[in-house]
Amino acid sequence: MANRLKEKLKAGEPAFGVSVMFPSPQIVEMVGKLGFDWVMIDCEHGSISTESIETMAMAAELTGITPIARPWTNSAEAILRVMDRGAMGVQVPHVNTADDARRAVQAVKYFPEGQRGLAAGSRPANYGFGLSMSDYVVRANADTLVCVQLEEQEALQNIDEILRVEGVDVFFVGPSDLSQSMGYPGRSGEPVVKQAIDEAFAKIVAAGKTPGSAGNAQATRGYLEQGVQYLYTHLTTLLGSASVDFLGSVKP
C-alpha cells in the first residue's frame, strides 16, 4: 500500500487526520470511512499496546488511509516496534536538536538511508510472500514518513539546523507542549506563544519544507492560511464538538 499521506504532501495538498489514543481498530475504520486522509496512533499519551498498533494499522489500510504512529520516545527500539507493526511513518516527540532529528530518520529508514533493523517475514514486508527483501527495503525507504515534533523552546532555537536534516518529511509544531515550555501551560493563544508558533511556520515554509500542527476546526483554518499541510484533530475534540452541536439542536 502506497503512503497516500506522503503523496498528498509532496503534491502540496493539505492532509487531514485524527489522533486516536485508545486501542480501537473500529474507531480507525470509522475515521477512514468518514473521509479523513490519515490516522495518528498515539502511543506516547495513549493506552495503546504493541498488538493494538498492528490491528489499528490493518484497519487503516482496510479503509485506504495512512497509519502514522507516535512512539513512546525517540529511540530506535520504540520506533522499530511501531514500524514493524505496520505504521507507515512516525511522529516523533520532543525533537530538540538536529542530532535528535537524525536519530529519528536513522531509526525509520533502512540502509543506505538509515539503520533500521531488518527482519524477514514481518508484516510490512508482506510476511516475505511475493516480495524480496531487497525490493521491500527500496519500497519502504521511499514510502515511510518521518515527522519530527518541535515542541520546546530549545527546538525553536535550533530550528534552522533541524530544517537541514535530510530525510525529515514534516516539521510539526506542537502548541500544547510549547506553551508549557514557554511558561504558559495550555495557553497556546498567549501572544508570545502564538508569535513563536507563527515564526516557526514561516521558517519551515521559507525553507521549502512541510509544516504540521494540530487543533480544532478554528485553529486548523488558521494553520491552512499559514501553509500548514500536515494537520490533525483529536478524536475527543471531534466527539466534543459533535456532541455540542447535537445536544444544542435537540435539547429544549
Nearest to 44, CA basis, from 75, 69, 17:
69
User: What's the pLDDT at 2?
Assistant: 84
Q: Which tens digits make up the pLDDT trace of 152-161?
A: 999 999 999 9
Provide DSSP, 156-224.
HHTHHHHHT-TT--EEEE-HHHHHHHTT-TT-TTSHHHHHHHHHHHHHHHHTT-EEEEE--HHHHHHHH
Residue that the C-alpha cell 513512546 belongs to: 72
Candidates 10, 45, 123, 221; catalytic one:
45
Which triple of cell numbers denotes residue 71? 512512539
Query: 1 falls in which pLDDT band (50, 70, 90)?
Result: low
- What distance in Å separates the CA atoms of residue 63 and residue 163, rounded to the nearest whole number? 33
How many domains is the chain partitioned into structurally? 1
| Mean pLDDT to the nearest integer, 137-150 | 97
Q: Which tens digits make up the pLDDT trace of 45-72?
A: 999 999 999 999 999 999 999 999 999 9
- What distance in Å separates the CA atoms of residue 26 and residue 153, rounded to the nearest whole number? 37
Confidence check: pLDDT of 145 > 70: yes
Residue 195 lies in a domain: no
User: What's the pLDDT at 32?
Assistant: 97
Q: Which tens digits make up the pLDDT trace of 177-228?
A: 999 999 999 999 999 999 999 999 999 999 999 999 999 999 999 999 999 9
Residue type, 230: Y
Which residues lie below 8 Å from residue 140, measured CB to CB, with a gap of 6+?
A: 109, 110, 124, 125
- What distance in Å separates the CA atoms of residue 163 and residue 145, rounded to the nearest whole number? 15
- What distance in Å separates the CA atoms of residue 99 and residue 62, rounded to the nearest whole number? 36
Residue 174 lies in a domain: no
User: What's the pLDDT at 121?
Assistant: 86
User: What's the pLDDT at 120?
Assistant: 82
State percent of the chain over pLDDT 70: 100
Residue 74 lies in a domain: yes
Residue 185 lies in a domain: no
Residue 14 lies in a domain: yes
User: What's the pLDDT at 241?
Assistant: 94
Q: What does pLDDT average to over the chain? A: 96
Return the number of other C-beta atoms located less than 10 Å from residue 2's C-beta. 11
Confidence check: pLDDT of 111 > 80: yes
Residue 186 lies in a domain: no
Residue 132 lies in a domain: yes
Express the helix, strand and coil content of the chain in percent, nearest 5 each.
50, 15, 35
234 DSSP β-pair partners: 19
Query: 116 falls in which pLDDT band (50, 70, 90)?
Result: very high
CATH code (residue 220): 3.20.20.60
- What distance in Å separates the CA atoms of residue 148 and residue 197, rounded to the nearest whole number? 15
Nearest to 28, CA basis, from 36, 2, 6, 126:
36
Confidence check: pLDDT of 103 > 70: yes
Q: Which tens digits make up the pLDDT trace of 163-177?
A: 999 999 999 999 999
| Mean pLDDT to the nearest integer, 7-23 | 97
Which residues lie below 8 Å from residue 65, measured CB to CB, with a gap of 6+?
A: 4, 5, 17, 28, 31, 32, 36, 37, 38, 39
* Residue 94 annotated to the active site: no
Domain range for 246 is 4-143+213-250
